[in-house]
Amino acid sequence: MAIVGTGIDLAQIVRFRRFVDEGKTALLERLFTCAERDYALAHKDPASHLAVRFAAKEAFLKALGTGLRFGLSWQQVEVVRDELGCPSLHLTGRAQELMAEKGAVRAHLSYSHDGDYGVASVILED
């Protein structure tokens, strides 16, 4: 197995706290799937959970090397967690197709949040 792409992103938590506090529901619905919003908004302070999910999506787009073009949308890249809380990416539509076109069969995700920032790293493997 070889690495075919890497990406990293940093997101300011305060930015997402402002989106929640100002009721920017349409923006949150555009950036996050229903499951991602439900997970984050169930927490006392959802901003850090939203920030790392956004960073994960950006890191994936960087690893893919496309950015948000070629028919990609934020909704096609979803952060999910297994029963132990380990995060991974669930891809649909063009995100899934472009990853296959790149020759990648697996996406590895790691993220963390502390203080003012959330960070995520994605490694694509063939």
The H or E element containing residue 17 is helix 13-21
Regarding beta strands 87-91 and 77-81, do their DSSP bridges make them parallel or antiparallel, or are they unpaired? antiparallel
Residues with a catalytic annotation lie at: 62, 113
DSSP 88: E
CA 77 to CA 93: how far, in whole Å? Answer: 9
| 94, 68 contact by CB (below 8 A) | no
Cβ density class 16-45: b for 16+ within 10 Å, e for less: bbebbeeeeeeebeebbbeebbebbeeeee
